[in-house]
Amino acid sequence: MKNNAHFASGRALDVICLGRLAVDLYAQQIGSTLEDATSFAKYLGGSSANIAFGTARLGLKSAMLSKVGDDHMGRFLTDTLRKEGCDVSHVAIDPERLTALVMLGIKDKDTFPLIFFRENCADMAIEADSFDAGFIGSSKALLITGTHFSSAAMHAVSSQALALARANNVRTVLDIDYRPVLWGLSGKADGETRFVSSDAVTRHLQGILPQFDLVVGTEEEFMIAGGGDDIIASLKAVRAVSGATLVVKRGPLGCAVIEGAIPGKLDDAFNYRGVQVDVLNVLGAGDAFISGFLKGWLRGEDYDACCRYANACGALVVSRHGCAPAMPSPAELDYFLAHAARLTQPDQDATLARLHRTTVARKQWDELCVFAFDHRTQFFELAQQAGAPEASISALKQLLVQAVAQTETSLGLAGRTGVLIDGRYGVDALNAATGRGWWIGRPVELPGSNPLQFDWGRSIGSHLVSWPKEHVIKCLVQLHPDDVVANRLEQEAQIKALYDAAQISGHELLLEIIPPESLPQGDDTVLRAVKRLYNLGIYPEWWKLEGLSSSQWRAIDALVQERDPYCRGVVLLGLNAPIAELAASFEEARHSTTCRGFMVGRTIFQEPSRRWLAGEIDDAALIAAVRANFEQLIGLWQRTRQNNVQLERAA
C-alpha cells in the first residue's frame, strides 16, 4: 500500500518527540512480584523518550523535546539519548523539579506491575518558551504521546508545538499511549491497567485528533479515542474528526493501516501480518513498534515496509528485558527480518544477541595508550624486596592514577587514555580512575594460573554484577593450541564461561593470550589460539597480544576481519620489555588495521615503584618518573602511526 505522506525536504531532523522522559527501574527478577523484587536495572524510559531513542538507533535523526531535573537521573537520561545520536538541545533542566521515575516488574507474560513516580515531575513542566518555530520547523515530523495532553499546562504547550508544526509543513504524529493512571482514573500505584473507559478522556482526545496526520494506537487506545462500543464504531468516531492515517496495533497479529473510510471489519483494512514470538515483557513494545513504523514512513517507503519494520521491532522488544535498551539497530532488524520465521525466541539467538551488543551505539576507541598496573604478584614481590608493607601498594597504585591523569592533560590524550588496574590492591585506584572517560580494564585471572582460574573461584558471573559498566573484563590466559588436551579443554571451558558471563553482565571482554614458554612456539601459535577461540563462538571485544612480525599482523588482521568485523581491536602487551624492544614491535604493527595501541606495565612502573617502595624517592618523583616512561612510549607509538599516515599519503 502506497504511503502518500508528504514531507518537507531539507530538514535537519526527521522527528522531534515531545513528552515523557523518565528513568525506568526494571526489576531484574523475572516472575517476581514488585513487592518481592530485590534489584533493579536502570534504563532510559518514558514513552516519547523511548521513541526518540528507538528512532535514533534505527538511523533516523531524532530530537527530544522535554525536561529533566537537575539531578543524576536527568544527566543519565540526557547522556543516554546523546550517545544514541539523538539531538538533546531541547532537553531543558528544571531546577525546581526532579526527573520522573517508573518502577516496573515482570510477574508473568500477562502481568507487568508498574508504578509511576511522576508527581510534579520535570517532564510535565515543559515551558512554552523552550522551543520556537525555528526548532519545530527544522524537522519533518513532530510526535506527541497522548498523555501529554492530560494536564492543562502540558495540553497548552503540546497544542502550541502542534500549531507551529502545522504552520511549518511538519507532519504530526500521535501515539495515543493511553495510561489511565496518568489521567487519574486508576489507583495511584496501578500503572498496569491499560483501559478504563472515560467520556472525559474521549472528549479530550477528540479535541486534539484533528491536529494529527498519523495516529497510532492499540485497539483499546482507539476505543478510548473514539469512545464507541467496539473497535469499528470507535474508528468511525475517530474518522469523523480526523483525516489522519490510522495505524491499529494488533499484537502478534500485526497491524492495520487505514486511510480514508473505515471498513466494516478490521480484517478488511490493509493488514500486515506480524511474526509471533514468545513474550517476556510487553512494556515498551508499542514504542518500538512506532519507532520501526517511522523508520519507513519518514523515508517515504510504502506501508508494507513501514509495517514490516514496526512488527519486527515490536516483536524484538517483547522478547527482551527493558524498553529502550531492547530496541534494535538496523543490522539486527535486517537479520531478524531475514530469519523471522525460525526466530520465535529472538532473545535466545546468539547471532542476534551479538549484533545487539556490537551494532548499537558504542563509545569509539580509535587509539588506546594504556598504562597497565593490574599486576598483583609483581607488586607484592616489589614491596617485599623493598621491605615495604603490603598496604603501601594501594597508595602506590593511587599515585599511578595521578600520573596517568597528568599525562592525559599534558598530552591532550582524552579519549585515548587507558589503565589496567586490579581489584585486589587497586580498589581505591580503580575508584579514582572510574568516571573520567578512560578505558579501564580489570583482571579476573588468578595470577599465574594454568589451567586458568578466576581470582574469586568459578562463579565469575556473580562477581561481575557488582562491577561498574565501564570496566572491561581483562583475562590473561596462557593458551597454546598444542597444549595437552585436558589442559586445553579446561582452559577453553573457563574462557567460554567468562564470555557467557560477560554477555549477561554487559561488560566488554579483553582476552590476553600468552602461549606458555614451556611449549614450542611457531610463527602461527598465537594466530591458531585466536582462531580456536573464534571456532568456539568466543568473540571478545579486545585481544591483547605480544609483539608480532608484520606478516603475523597481516594474518591476524585477516582473521579478525573475517571472523569478527565488530571486534574493537588488538592491543600490544609489554612483558617487561625494554623501550627499544617495544619501539620495534610498534614498528612491526604499523600497517596493522586491527592494532589500536599498547598496554604496557612493568616497562613503565617497575623501576620508579621499586625506588618509591624503598623510600628512595617521594610521591612527586615517582609520578614524574612514571610519566616520563609512559609519555616516551606514547610518543614512540604516535610517531610510528604518524609516519605511517604520512607514508600512506605520499603513496
Ligand X SMILES: Nc1ncnc2c1ncn2[C@@H]1O[C@H](COP(=O)(O)OP(=O)(O)OP(=O)(O)O)[C@@H](O)[C@H]1O
Q: Which parts of this chain interact with ligand LN3RO5KU (CB under 6 A)? A: 20, 22, 24, 45-47, 50, 102, 283-284, 286-287, 323
Question: Which of 4, 120 has the CB closer to ligand LN3RO5KU?
Answer: 120
Question: Which of 285, 556 has the CB closer to ligand LN3RO5KU?
Answer: 285
22 binds, among ligand X, ligand LN3RO5KU, none (CB under 5 to 8 A by kind): ligand LN3RO5KU
What residue type is assigned to position 10 of the chain?
G
45 binds, among ligand LN3RO5KU, ligand X, none (CB under 5 to 8 A by kind): ligand LN3RO5KU
Question: Which of 45, 597 has the CB closer to ligand LN3RO5KU?
Answer: 45
Residues 6+ apart with CB under 8 A from 245: 5, 213, 214, 215, 257, 258, 259
Q: How far is the CB of 172 from ligand X (least distance, A)?
A: 19
Sign for the pseudo-dihedral over CA of 146, 217, 266, 110: negative
- Mapped to the 3 state alphabet, what secondary structure does 373-436 carry? ECCCHHHHHHHHHHCCCCCHHHHHHHHHHHHHHHHHHHHCCCCCEEEEECCCCCHHHHHHHCCC
Order of strands, edge to edge, in the sheet holding 114-117?
A: 40-45, 22-30, 100-106, 114-117
Q: Residue 23 corresponds to which cell in the numbers above?
A: 528513568
Q: Residue 227 corresponds to which cell in the numbers above?
A: 469512545
Report the distance separating Cα 397 and Cα 373, nearest Å: 7
Q: How far is the CB of 22 from ligand LN3RO5KU (least distance, A)?
A: 5
Beta bridge partners of 64: 17
Residues 6+ apart with CB under 8 A from 440: 418, 419, 420, 421, 430, 433, 434, 470, 471, 472
Q: How far is the CB of 102 from ligand LN3RO5KU (least distance, A)?
A: 4
Q: How far is the CB of 360 from ligand LN3RO5KU (least distance, A)?
A: 17
505 binds, among ligand X, ligand LN3RO5KU, none (CB under 5 to 8 A by kind): none
Report the distance separating Cα 2 and Cα 302, nearest Å: 5
Q: How far is the CB of 191 from ligand LN3RO5KU (least distance, A)?
A: 8
Q: Which stretches of the chain bind ligand X, using CB under 6 A?
A: 218, 249, 251-252, 255, 274-277, 279, 282-287, 289, 311, 314-315, 318
Residue of minimal Cβ distance to ligand LN3RO5KU: 45
Report the distance separating Cα 184 and Cα 190, nearest Å: 10
Paired sense of beta strands 40-45 and 13-18, if any? unpaired
Q: Cβ–Cβ contacts within 10 Å for residue 482, how many?
A: 14
276 binds, among ligand LN3RO5KU, ligand X, none (CB under 5 to 8 A by kind): ligand X
Question: Which of 180, 515 has the CB closer to ligand X?
Answer: 180
Question: Which of 151, 640 has the CB closer to ligand LN3RO5KU?
Answer: 151
Going by C-alpha positions, the residue among 121, 93, 94, 100 that lies closest to residue 45 is 100
Q: How far is the CB of 366 from ligand LN3RO5KU (least distance, A)?
A: 33
Question: Which of 18, 556 has the CB closer to ligand LN3RO5KU?
Answer: 18
Question: Which of 45, 423 has the CB closer to ligand LN3RO5KU?
Answer: 45
Q: How far is the CB of 547 from ligand LN3RO5KU (least distance, A)?
A: 49
274 binds, among ligand X, ligand LN3RO5KU, none (CB under 5 to 8 A by kind): ligand X
Going by C-alpha positions, the residue among 592, 7, 83, 154 that lies closest to residue 325 is 83
Report the distance separating Cα 114 and Cα 530, nearest Å: 46
Q: How far is the CB of 244 from ligand X (least distance, A)?
A: 17
Q: Cβ–Cβ contacts within 10 Å for residue 376, how many?
A: 19
20 binds, among ligand X, ligand LN3RO5KU, none (CB under 5 to 8 A by kind): ligand LN3RO5KU
Q: How far is the CB of 115 from ligand LN3RO5KU (least distance, A)?
A: 10
Asked whether the beta carbons of 142 and 161 are under 8 A apart, the reply is: yes
Question: Which of 22, 382 has the CB closer to ligand LN3RO5KU?
Answer: 22
Question: Which of 65, 430 has the CB closer to ligand LN3RO5KU?
Answer: 65
Question: Which of 255, 582 has the CB closer to ligand X?
Answer: 255
Q: How far is the CB of 79 from ligand LN3RO5KU (least distance, A)?
A: 17
Report the distance separating Cα 132 and Cα 216, nearest Å: 26
Residue of minimal Cβ distance to ligand X: 286
Q: Residue 445 corresponds to which cell in the numbers above?
A: 585471572
Asked whether the beta carbons of 591 and 550 are under 8 A apart, the reply is: yes
Question: Which of 45, 137 has the CB closer to ligand X?
Answer: 45
422 binds, among ligand X, ligand LN3RO5KU, none (CB under 5 to 8 A by kind): none
Asked whether the beta carbons of 369 and 597 are under 8 A apart, the reply is: yes
24 binds, among ligand X, ligand LN3RO5KU, none (CB under 5 to 8 A by kind): ligand LN3RO5KU
105 binds, among ligand X, ligand LN3RO5KU, none (CB under 5 to 8 A by kind): none
Q: How far is the CB of 152 from ligand LN3RO5KU (least distance, A)?
A: 20
Order of strands, edge to edge, in the sheet holding 171-175?
A: 87-94, 62-69, 13-18, 139-145, 171-175, 214-218, 245-249, 254-258, 270-273
Report the distance separating Cα 138 and Cα 169, nearest Å: 10
218 binds, among ligand LN3RO5KU, ligand X, none (CB under 5 to 8 A by kind): ligand X
Report the distance separating Cα 149 and Cα 522, nearest Å: 70
Asked whether the beta carbons of 612 and 396 are under 8 A apart, the reply is: yes
Q: How far is the CB of 341 from ligand X (least distance, A)?
A: 13
Question: Which of 286, 328 has the CB closer to ligand X?
Answer: 286
451 binds, among ligand X, ligand LN3RO5KU, none (CB under 5 to 8 A by kind): none
Question: Which of 17, 269 has the CB closer to ligand LN3RO5KU?
Answer: 17
What residue type is assigned to position 73 of the chain?
M
